[in-house]
Amino acid sequence: MLNHYPAWKNLLILFAMVLGVLYSVPNLYPDDEALQVTHESQELVQADLDNITTALEAAQLASIGQELNDSGILLRFDGVDEQLRAKTAIEDALTDDYIVALNLAPTTPGWMQAIGAGKMNLGLDLQGGVHFLMEVDMEAAVLGRMEDNLSNVRSILRELRIRTRGLTMVDSSHIEVRFASADDRSRARSELIDNFPELQFQNREAGGLSHLDLRMTEDTMLQIRRDTLQANRTTLLNRVDALGVAEPTVQQQGANRIVVELPGVQDPAQAIRILQRIATLEFHLEAGPGAPRSSFETYDYVAPEGVFTVNVDNDVILQGDRISNVRPSLDQNGLPQVQISLDAQGGNQINRVTRDNVGRMMDILLIETRSRTSLVIDENGEEIEEVEFYEDRRLISHARINSALGRQFVITGLTQREAMDLSLLISSGSLAAPMTIVEQSVIGPTMGRENLEQGIRGVQIAAVLVVLFMLLYYRVFGLAANAALIMNIVLIFAVLSSVLPATLTLPGIVGIVLTVGMAVDANVLIFTRIKEELRNGLPPQQAISAGYDRAFTTILDANLTTFLVAVVLFTIGTGPVKGFSVTLMIGIITSMFTAIVGTRALVNLIYGRRRDLRSLSIGIAPVKPATGKH
């Protein structure tokens, strides 16, 4: 009997190997330290690059590569020192509207980038940076929507001239409307029911009044939560983009959390300030001339011609979360304007209010949560710092309603600058619900580099030790196992670099190291089985074949169960647990391939075609054949 693989199998292995090498090689190209210069609202032009070059020359610094592209200006530097000094020099030379961010620029050849071969993403623990876990206040989102509904119900009933004995919001999912007669109620009900498909209506009699209960369904609340999270994530993404960080991560985690990871950012306080620009928007009407004092609040409005006060009605026409898109543009006469798009319900709401109020003024309030630190005296008479939070409400737009508004409308009469600013303010305010930071970690660049170096050294030493041991213990077969082991590591790196958008973290490296230890297990199983078959008196070729065959089910069972564990870890785990399970899963799959198919191909190449094969170099001399005596 001979052992050989069909040509296609050998080719497949060769193919996998070439791909593996190709896609893992980019990791060997070191990145250049770079600076990314962007502007808050404008595109950068050649003049900006010239300014920067002049500033660098003045500071006696030189960049080793410059690029002006759609995302700004990229400047490469030789070393971290140059990079940091250049950052200071450029920041001094440019106005505050420019954002100068530390970055790393790849140096892989263009054709590699073209076939999608790139570097592995390193986790924060390996390169330093800031990690935030933000929790979205879902209750607030639901409450906001219900408040919205409340004021809509009120205005519809007023429009229909149906008198009520009061409206109350019982809780965030329940509005109660009281009527004097069941007749009023049924009239109101039939009108309201069409306008609020997301609410459930129920009649109730209590205290001699006819009550109408409007409740939000579970489905609607779920939908609101889902939309809210999505909306917040988008807003965060925009804000993070404004930070100019290379490869930021903004990901949903669980039902109500968002992970933000900013590699390379070293000033968490600044990052928090930008991310925490928690703001919401509200659209109101200006209060009419004779309105009672309790129905409006007064705000300062900063207009080009000066500051004046505006009385803003308390009823909210529209919440910011109804806004789907905002952008500055030009009208047909080339005059600047801000274009606002709403979702369907938002369109209905604003239409209902504005069609009866053409000619009145509409106001947009931006509500931001800010913190201020003050010194107070505590009960022990000591001075302590106290951080308190307050709502900063600002009137950002005061414009006349010229016609009934719909899903798309524009705010005109602005200068270009105002249009730009207003559009930015509105989009920053469309965060659907407030968020708080529940977890935060800052990893300094020193620590990151140390982790990476130590991790890599761990992998190297572990690999060398295991390779040496296998070679000494299993000789030629050990050689095959070692080749498979190296190929396995190459494949894991290739998969991590290109196939999966996975991020390599420290636990991930540990996962790889562990796979190195466990990957040889498959080979140990096969080789001990071959030895056993030799001892049982099988001739070498048959022993090889039987060894591989018999060990296969065991290997499959063992790896499948471990894989199941890794899947469980991946599904429920977060952070380090997830990073570990990803590399473990990849490692199990690649090691099954290399340890079974890969080593078999090599063993076949070495021994497979020799008819006169008497002995195998598999470590120990097999016990003398027991001449078929079982």
Non-local (6+) Cβ contacts of 616 within 8 A are 476, 477, 530, 534, 540, 543, 544, 607, 622
> Which residues in 50-109 contact other proteins (CB under 8 A)?
none
Structure tokens at 487: 């190929």
- 121-122 and 503-504 as β-strands: parallel, antiparallel, unpaired? parallel
Structure tokens at 214: 């409007």
Q: Say if residues 352 and 155 touch (Cβ distance below 8 Å).
A: yes
Selected from 45, 62, 461, 472, the binder of other proteins by CB under 8 A is 461
Binding mask 238-277 for other proteins (x = CB under 8 A): ------------------------------xx--x---x-
Q: Is 227 left (phi over 0), alpha (psi -120 to 50) or beta?
A: alpha
Strand partners, 302: 307
User: Of 495, 528, 527, which Cα lies nearest the Cα of 511?
Assistant: 495
In angstroms, what is the minimal distance from the CB of 308 to other proteins?
A: 34
Selected from 473, 476, 483, 542, the binder of other proteins by CB under 8 A is 473
Distance from chain centroid for Cα 45: 30
Give CA separation, 449 vs 132, 267, 513, 540, 612, in Å. Answer: 20, 18, 18, 50, 55
Which residue type sits at 532? E
Q: Say if residues 291 and 311 touch (Cβ distance below 8 Å).
A: yes
Binding mask 529-558 for other proteins (x = CB under 8 A): ---x--xxx---------------xx--xx
Selected from 166, 387, 611, 615, the binder of other proteins by CB under 8 A is 387
Q: Say if residues 282 and 367 touch (Cβ distance below 8 Å).
A: yes
> Which residues in 477-506 contact other proteins (CB under 8 A)?
506
Compare residues 344 and 461 and give the one whose CB is closer to other proteins: 461
Structure tokens at 186: 């049924």
In angstroms, what is the minimal distance from the CB of 588 to other proteins?
A: 9
> Which residues in 418-437 contact other proteins (CB under 8 A)?
436-437
In angstroms, what is the minimal distance from the CB of 532 to other proteins?
A: 6
> Which residues in 170-199 contact other proteins (CB under 8 A)?
none
Q: Using the rule CB under 8 A, is 623 a contact of other proteins?
A: yes
Compare residues 128 and 608 and give the one whose CB is closer to other proteins: 128
In angstroms, what is the minimal distance from the CB of 271 to other proteins?
A: 8
Non-local (6+) Cβ contacts of 452 within 8 A are 122, 126, 127
Size of the site for other proteins (CB under 8 A): 81
Compare residues 42 and 460 and give the one whose CB is closer to other proteins: 460
In angstroms, what is the minimal distance from the CB of 603 to other proteins?
A: 18
In angstroms, what is the minimal distance from the CB of 130 to other proteins?
A: 8
Compare residues 259 and 312 and give the one whose CB is closer to other proteins: 259
Non-local (6+) Cβ contacts of 236 within 8 A are 134, 250, 258, 260, 275
User: Of 593, 603, 609, which Cα lies nearest the Cα of 17?
Assistant: 593
User: Of 68, 40, 38, which Cα lies nearest the Cα of 417?
Assistant: 40
Rounded CA gap, 67 and 280, in Å? 38
Selected from 168, 203, 230, 561, the binder of other proteins by CB under 8 A is 561
Compare residues 248 and 511 and give the one whose CB is closer to other proteins: 511
Which of the ranges 222-230, 521-529, 591-599, 608-616 carries the binding residues for other proteins, by CB under 8 A?
Answer: 521-529
In angstroms, what is the minimal distance from the CB of 470 to other proteins?
A: 8
In angstroms, what is the minimal distance from the CB of 370 to other proteins?
A: 11
Q: Using the rule CB under 8 A, is 472 a contact of other proteins?
A: no
Non-local (6+) Cβ contacts of 485 within 8 A are 463, 466, 467, 470, 516, 519, 520, 594
> Which residues in 352-371 contact other proteins (CB under 8 A)?
369, 371
Compare residues 86 and 513 and give the one whose CB is closer to other proteins: 513
Distance from chain centroid for Cα 18: 32
Q: Say if residues 402 and 252 touch (Cβ distance below 8 Å).
A: no
In angstroms, what is the minimal distance from the CB of 511 to other proteins?
A: 8
In angstroms, what is the minimal distance from the CB of 247 to other proteins?
A: 19
Binding mask 125-144 for other proteins (x = CB under 8 A): x--x---xx-x---------
> Which residues in 566-605 contact other proteins (CB under 8 A)?
566, 568-569, 572-577, 580-581, 584
Selected from 85, 458, 546, 606, the binder of other proteins by CB under 8 A is 458
Which of the ranges 186-194, 230-238, 420-428, 446-454 carries the binding residues for other proteins, by CB under 8 A?
Answer: 446-454
